[in-house]
Structure 1
Amino acid sequence: MSLQPQVEDAQEARSAFFIGADSDVLEEQDHHQLILQKANALASGNCLKEAIDLFSAAMRYGPVQPEQLGTLVDCILRNFKRKTAGPDPLWRRSRDAEESRRDDVFDCPNCRSFLGEPVTLACGHSYCKRCLQRQRLSKCKLCNGTVGGEEKVSVVMCGLLEKWFPDELKRSKTLCEVDELCRTRRYHEAVSLATDAIQCDPELMAVARLSRAEAYMALKMYRLALEDTEFSPWSSCFAEALFRKAMVLHEMGQVDESLQVFLHCLAVDEDFPAAKRQVEKILCDLLSPADENVKVGLRETTQNTSPHMRNKTLVAEAQPPSPVQRQHQARAASAHDHLERLEKRWESLERPGLSRARSLRVHGSGCGDEGLKRVCSAPQLGDEDKASLLKRKLSVSDTEHCVVDSGSNKLKKQGVAKGSKQKAAKAKTCRSVPEDLLDPNDLECSLCMRLFYEPVTTPCGHTFCKNCLERCLDHTPQCPLCKESLKEYLARRTYMVATVLDMLMKQYLSPAYAERTNAHLEETRDLSDLTKNVPIFVCTMAYPTVPCPLHVFEPCYRLMIRRCMDTGTRQFGMCINDPKKGFVDYGCMLTIRSVHFLPDGRSVVDTIGGKRFRVVSRGMKDGYSIANIEHLGDTKVESSDELQRLQELHDAVYEQARVWFQNLKFHFHNQILQHFGPMPEREADIQATPNGPACCWWLLAVLPIDPRYQLSVLSMTSLRERLVKIQHILAYLQSIPNN
């Protein structure tokens, strides 16, 4: 008996099995994505309890990454703010205390400390390098601009700060050294350097203690780390102090407390990416199944999803539980007592009178830094219990207001509002530049050798006048000083003024700045005159009312187009080439309708014809031609009889042109429509504009005749002569057999 049929049957069975298994996997993935989408929708709608249910269920169907919980974090933060929205919530007082500080141009907008090693972002605002390196910023706090993270230190501003404030710059560099020691895991050296800095210079205390807290935490000296984060609840780095405190609590295993402090940090500063990532990780741990191999469908979850999923879940529940499931259910059932104790601990944490010392005693972590034990929020909780616990912790309560304690004791807590108001009322003294150190040459553009006007700082850290930089990028996408590639910077074309430098010039060099501004305005005024020194694009024929798309790639014309846009005229002249004169004596003004810039600096310019002109004199400016011109217009016919004959001639030519256009081959007909649009409608008043009927110029643009002949028609100021010329051209074209 042959074994071949049996082998084939086995192969078919195995194939069917794998196909069925693949189908189940795909179905599980679909369910997983469906639940995640619905959970995100509920979180966006602020339905916190339902969102937690679905996110918890999603983790039973498949893995969920922490970054996928961003919507849930936003929902929890909104509920946290609402829950703590008493008459004067602590997080609002914290934020108001920061915002009440008088702005100092030499302070970092993020940490409110001295702007040591300033980095200017693409939006034009400057931050200290320390804040950007520590990834405490994802958007500009002043304008919500994106932080690229690749910008280098501003060379000009570094030179100014080193000259004007050498002592403060030295302090700032000391803090950077402490951070560098922490990054290289030389924590003992970091503690020693930070301690010396605090003792020698009290002005460094606010930020240096936070850096030292990071080192203490790495050394597992948690008590000292907490003391450094709580030294002053209204410090200039309050959001970062909360973040550092939450990190210490999390390292100690006090996940519940750390979660609330992280939320407090985000309530003070929503743009704190590191804090949001930590909350996402904590939520992911709290909602994750105790055993990743256990995937149990919840009835209440599937009731909110598709009917197909409900049927699948009911079938699964009808079957006897597996040993792993029974073990999971037993573990969940045995955790109820611990759940109640954990609820009480959360309630006590939410009461405003709880001090840090008491919190440490409750968790058995006040007996020394080295002996601290890590305590999990819910070490034996089942999946359903953890989701239920999380909902109770984070849900909105109409009767209870939660205030997270960030002070050291009850007396300090009671007096914090009064102290904060006193400190908020006491404005910080702004730094002033020593008058004997002011030198306009320090704020001079290296390209035009004049005081900066609209200073722009490139990603490589060099600063130029905006116009000067754009002219250089017209020729090559590289920094004029260091030759670093600026292709991406050129592609974005976001040349935003460096606000700090601009403010410094206006405040400390006002006479020189006013003189520089007047010079710029005078130059712009000269460029705005549409009869003198008009820019001329030497390229092709252009006609009134007819579109003229242009591809601009030459550096001189890039500059010319940009100047037309900057001055607001949005106009330039178009002429064809003349071997002897450079360009012919007659042309047409073009009005820029839109400009599409390409990543490499080229542009596609959409223009339309305007007035005709005659060249009076010629010249050159910055590589392109200019001319003094006088505008042309048709001579009007006054006699009614003559006007009647002119109207009849116009109608005859229009009908002749319409017939010619309709009889064109399909290919040519479509090409004309694509480039020039349809033939203009017949006009009631043929003398309404100085240029006459639009159909004449449309015909002149599409008729296949020599440009010199077209130029002769363009220069005519008699509508009758123009119509006769076009009539002769149409008659000649119609006499040629249509092949």
Structure 2
Amino acid sequence: MDAGIQNHAEHYVHDLSNPTAPGLCAEMLGVADEACRAGDFELAAEIYTSQLAELEHTDRGLCLRKADALARGGRIADALDSYCIAANLQALRPDELQILVEVIAHTIRTKEQSDRKTINLGSTSESRCFESDELDDEQNLDLFSCRLCKCLLTEPTSLVCGHTFCKRCLEDDLTKECRSCRLKPNKSPRQFTVDGLRVNVIVSGLIEKWFNSESKARRYWLEGEGLWKKQDVPNAILKFNTAIELEPYICRLLTRRAELLMEMKNFGQAIKDGDTMCRLRPQWPKAHYIKATAFRSAGRNEEALQEYFYCLALKSDWIAVKLEAQKILSHMFSSVFANDGLATSMQPLPAGPSSRVKPSSLLSSLHSSLPRDGAKAGCSKESTLSCSKFKDGNSSVLQRSENANSVGFCSLFVQPVLKRKWTEDAKAFEPPSKQLKEDKASSCKTLPTFSWGRQVQSQLLDSADFECSLCMRLFYEPVTTPCGHTFCLKCLERCLDHNPNCPLCKENLSEYLATRAYNKTLLIEKLLQRFFCDELAERRKVHEEEMKELSNLNQEVPIFVCTMAFPTIPCPLHVFEPRYRLMIRRSMETGTKQFGMCIADELKGFADHGCMLEVRDVKFFPDGRSVVDTIGIARFRVLSHGQRDGYHTAKIEYLEDKKVEGEELMELLKLHDSVYDQALGWFTSLKDDMKNQIISHFGQLPVKDSDPQDNPSGPAWCWWLLAVLPLENKAQLTILAMNALKDRLIAIRRVLIFVTRKRPR
């Protein structure tokens, strides 16, 4: 038994009418209550039966307790007898039938699950979990459905976060945030204004091409919704009819038309739409609810009750439906005794045209279709009395059937849901409105079999629909701009390096550039993965090969032609040229975070020697410019010059100082210490303001190395000194190119002597 019913075992909604009545044993009633809490409903029912037999006058509250225990124990037919006894004494309130309704719904649910296992024989292609439609609808949506309205995307609009919704849904959404990732307006203010919402050109074209008929139907549907809001019901129903003529099997569309028909009091056609929905999606609770509501509105309460039961079998926590079922059952029980004048005054059912129903044939079906167990029922004189009162003409409404077979509650319905077929003509409903035409869904006798998700016809699939208009190749990491155009991420970035306008419509994208919200359009990415996986794999392979080539820091090193750079020395850069924006971005994307720095050369374009820089941090400005914090890591010699996408490249080899040993090493160490002391003296003699400027830009003079040959590029203090000394670039370049530390120290000593002599006294 499901959790909802088990929870009720812990408390009772029925009180004894007279707990102190003679014959009642408080201890026995306590035992019965404890048995109910423990789930032993048979014992509880026997105790309640024995207590009732001891009473001179039937106690209504005890009858209800017995009925509840019998119902929970699965003996619904016997429970009905006790409910009838209680109803005979005083009309049943809806809340007193809560357990009966829950048990019936649970029994239907269990029986249907069992039937499906038998029918499907373990076939995964046919078997679908009975609860699947009970899950959140979003889990069952395909790629082409809006996550807000759950319908086909209409005027699909892609937000900067990458998620796509209907434009109308976004405009109507009061939260003004993406329902998938909860992107807030302050992160993209323009896109969350009405003027900022633009239709995704690529997705819109694909929807029109692949689902032309449904797309048209959806537009008529929305037009009908608009007219309905304006209370123009006649024209609204015409729009809905046109939409259903185009697409007769959209359940949500049928739902809306059924609701409109009920507002027009055309309950017959609303019932037809509800029946169509139940056949199309038999496990969708909303379909049975619409059908039940239509039956109820038409005054056909017994049929409405059947659909309410099935709603609860599919969705047990639907409180409103449970209450409606309880109200109908309450009214039916009271109506049984109306002819004998035993029913108390009841509130009329609000939906139906009549305030009272005839003796219920449904209760007869319930009673006769359930298994009976006379030995355990403990039928008392009260039971015999109650059964004798349920007469309808010449037949007993609740007549016992000793030989009845156990067929379960599913006998209440035409057939188990998944076994329903349109093998017989539809029942004659009320004539439809003159404004309604007989649509396909209500007139056909067989319905198509649907698999989950819309199917795209293979002849409509064309990879050319997914080509970037900039590189003319298949989209790779597709990004949609706020103006609705889609490009490859890398293509868009390169275009925005040169101009902050859309490459196609020329709309200004400065704000989009400032946020740098280059998120992939997930819908297009998923469509590529589903329909063009091979082409996408090939496109990815080409991209990876390009990135591998760019990351080879020997064969094709990007060269920034600007200023002198030295190993271990910081080199901050202000990047604003489009070619260098691209170069810096690629160095980050490849993961190397490195590029070469050379000074310009009039003949070759850049010098034959330079320094490799490593990016430590990048700060972007809203207009695309950036400040790049780099530091020198190694020297190199250029073997060949080249170009790529506007910036220079080079094939290089790295430079290292030649190491010396023995006497040469001893001489090198003396020279190293001497030049360092000379450099320290020069720096110490500088004016404070000049020293402060040098320190703020390059830092303090590095300490003297214990082993000057430890670093392949030599001691760090040499490069610090070379960077701060007032030398021309050509002189600095000459020293940078030296591969002997001794030669470099001698050159630095000469410079120090020169600047010391030149310094004004």
TM-score where L is the length of structure 2: 0.57
Q: Which has more radius of gyration?
A: 2
SS in 2 for 1:691: coil
Structure-1 residue corresponding to 2:522: 499
- Separation (CA, whole Å) in 2 of partners of 1:726 and 1:711: 13
Tell me how far 1:728 sits from its aligned partner: 2.0
Q: Is the 8 A contact 2:244 2:253 kept in 1?
A: no
Tell me how far 1:713 sits from its aligned partner: 0.7
Over 3 Å counting, the alpha-carbon distance change for 1:350 and 1:192 in structure 2 is: closer
1:119 to 157, 182, 195: 157
Tell me how far 1:490 sits from its aligned partner: 0.8
- Separation (CA, whole Å) in 1 of partners of 2:691 and 2:265: 81
Structure-2 residue corresponding to 1:312: none
- Separation (CA, whole Å) in 1 of partners of 2:285 and 2:667: 85
1:556 to 579, 583, 586: 579
- Separation (CA, whole Å) in 2 of partners of 1:350 and 1:547: 71
User: Does residue 1:130 correspond to 2:152, yes or no?
Assistant: no
Structure-1 residue corresponding to 2:334: none
Paired residues for 1:335-354 under 5 Å:
353=323
- Separation (CA, whole Å) in 1 of partners of 2:503 and 2:727: 47
Structure-2 residue corresponding to 1:717: 739
Q: Is the 8 A contact 1:113 1:236 kept in 2?
A: no
Q: Is the 8 A contact 1:191 1:216 kept in 2?
A: no
Q: Which amino acid aligns with 1:164?
A: W
Which has the larger displacement, 668-677 or 569-578?
668-677
Q: Which amino acid aligns with 2:702?
A: P
Over 3 Å counting, the alpha-carbon distance change for 1:131 and 1:727 in structure 2 is: same
Q: Is the 8 A contact 2:282 2:417 kept in 1?
A: no
Deviation sequence 1:653-703 (CA, Å, 0-9, x none): 223222322332222222222222222222222112211111111111111
User: Does residue 1:450 correspond to 2:473, yes or no?
Assistant: yes
Q: Is the 8 A contact 2:133 2:285 kept in 1?
A: no
2:708 to 676, 686, 699: 686
SS in 1 for 2:323: coil
- Separation (CA, whole Å) in 2 of partners of 1:674 and 1:357: 84
Tell me how far 1:146 sits from its aligned partner: 4.0
Deviation sequence 1:450-509 (CA, Å, 0-9, x none): 111111111111111111111111111111001111111111112122222222222222
Q: How many matched pairs?
A: 499
Paired residues for 1:39-438 under 5 Å:
97-98=135-136, 101-135=139-173, 138-146=176-184, 148-149=191-192, 150-181=196-227, 189-194=235-240, 197=243, 201-206=247-252, 209=255, 353=323, 366=350, 429-438=452-461
Over 3 Å counting, the alpha-carbon distance change for 1:522 and 1:577 in structure 2 is: same
Deviation sequence 1:420-450 (CA, Å, 0-9, x none): 9x9xxx9952223211122121111111111
Deviation sequence 1:138-192 (CA, Å, 0-9, x none): 4444434346433311111111221111112112222332344467775664354
Over 3 Å counting, the alpha-carbon distance change for 1:163 and 1:714 in structure 2 is: same
User: Does residue 1:677 correspond to 2:696, yes or no?
Assistant: no
RMSD: 4.5
Structure-2 residue corresponding to 1:460: 483
Which has the larger displacement, 454-463 or 498-507?
498-507
Q: Is the 8 A contact 1:130 1:176 kept in 2?
A: no
Q: Is the 8 A contact 1:474 1:558 kept in 2?
A: yes
Q: Which amino acid aligns with 2:589?
A: D
- Separation (CA, whole Å) in 1 of partners of 2:678 and 2:607: 31
Structure-2 residue corresponding to 1:597: 620
Which has the larger displacement, 117-126 or 713-722?
117-126
Which has the larger displacement, 204-213 or 349-358?
349-358
Q: Is the 8 A contact 1:94 1:234 kept in 2?
A: no
Q: Is the 8 A contact 1:614 1:630 kept in 2?
A: yes
SS in 2 for 1:608: strand
Tell me how far 1:539 sits from its aligned partner: 0.6
Paired residues for 1:480-629 under 5 Å:
480-629=503-652
Q: Is the 8 A contact 1:98 1:236 kept in 2?
A: no
Over 3 Å counting, the alpha-carbon distance change for 1:693 and 1:210 in structure 2 is: farther
Over 3 Å counting, the alpha-carbon distance change for 1:133 and 1:524 in structure 2 is: same
Q: Which amino acid aligns with 1:525?
A: K
Over 3 Å counting, the alpha-carbon distance change for 1:684 and 1:174 in structure 2 is: farther
Over 3 Å counting, the alpha-carbon distance change for 1:644 and 1:485 in structure 2 is: same
Over 3 Å counting, the alpha-carbon distance change for 1:185 and 1:603 in structure 2 is: farther
SS in 2 for 1:675: helix
- Separation (CA, whole Å) in 1 of partners of 2:614 and 2:346: 76
SS in 2 for 1:353: helix
Deviation sequence 1:381-420 (CA, Å, 0-9, x none): xxxxxxxxxxxxxxxxxxxxxxxxxxxxxx99x99xx999
Over 3 Å counting, the alpha-carbon distance change for 1:654 and 1:235 in structure 2 is: farther
- Separation (CA, whole Å) in 1 of partners of 2:675 and 2:450: 80
Tell me how far 1:598 sits from its aligned partner: 0.8
Tell me how far 1:517 sits from its aligned partner: 1.8
- Separation (CA, whole Å) in 1 of partners of 2:491 and 2:140: 34
Over 3 Å counting, the alpha-carbon distance change for 1:553 and 1:96 in structure 2 is: farther
Structure-1 residue corresponding to 2:72: none
SS in 1 for 2:535: helix
Which has the larger displacement, 205-214 or 517-526?
205-214
TM-score where L is the length of structure 1: 0.59
Q: Which amino acid aligns with 2:489?
A: K
1:668 to 672, 690, 711: 690
- Separation (CA, whole Å) in 2 of partners of 1:704 and 1:216: 91
Which has the larger displacement, 595-604 or 647-656?
647-656
SS in 1 for 2:135: helix
Q: Is the 8 A contact 1:594 1:605 kept in 2?
A: yes
Tell me how far 1:356 sits from its aligned partner: 10
Structure-2 residue corresponding to 1:295: none
Q: Is the 8 A contact 1:575 1:584 kept in 2?
A: yes
- Separation (CA, whole Å) in 2 of partners of 1:207 and 1:678: 75
Structure-1 residue corresponding to 2:751: 729
Q: Which amino acid aligns with 2:595?
A: F
Q: Is the 8 A contact 2:167 2:197 kept in 1?
A: no
Deviation sequence 1:333-356 (CA, Å, 0-9, x none): xxxxxxxxxxxxxxxx99963669
Over 3 Å counting, the alpha-carbon distance change for 1:737 and 1:688 in structure 2 is: closer
Q: Is the 8 A contact 1:102 1:428 kept in 2?
A: no
- Separation (CA, whole Å) in 2 of partners of 1:215 and 1:133: 27
Over 3 Å counting, the alpha-carbon distance change for 1:728 and 1:364 in structure 2 is: farther
Tell me how far 1:208 sits from its aligned partner: 6.6
Q: Which amino acid aligns with 1:686?
A: P
SS in 1 for 2:136: helix
- Separation (CA, whole Å) in 2 of partners of 1:364 and 1:476: 73
Deviation sequence 1:634-660 (CA, Å, 0-9, x none): 111122x32232222222222322232
- Separation (CA, whole Å) in 2 of partners of 1:112 and 1:509: 25
Q: Is the 8 A contact 1:171 1:204 kept in 2?
A: no
Q: Which amino acid aligns with 1:679?
A: L
Tell me how far 1:132 sits from its aligned partner: 1.4
Tell me how far 1:580 sits from its aligned partner: 1.6
Tell me how far 1:558 sits from its aligned partner: 0.8
Tell me how far 1:121 sits from its aligned partner: 1.7
User: Does residue 1:647 correspond to 2:669, yes or no?
Assistant: yes
Q: Which amino acid aligns with 1:353?
A: L
Q: Which amino acid aligns with 1:123?
A: C
- Separation (CA, whole Å) in 2 of partners of 1:183 and 1:466: 42
Structure-1 residue corresponding to 2:380: none
Q: Is the 8 A contact 1:653 1:727 kept in 2?
A: yes
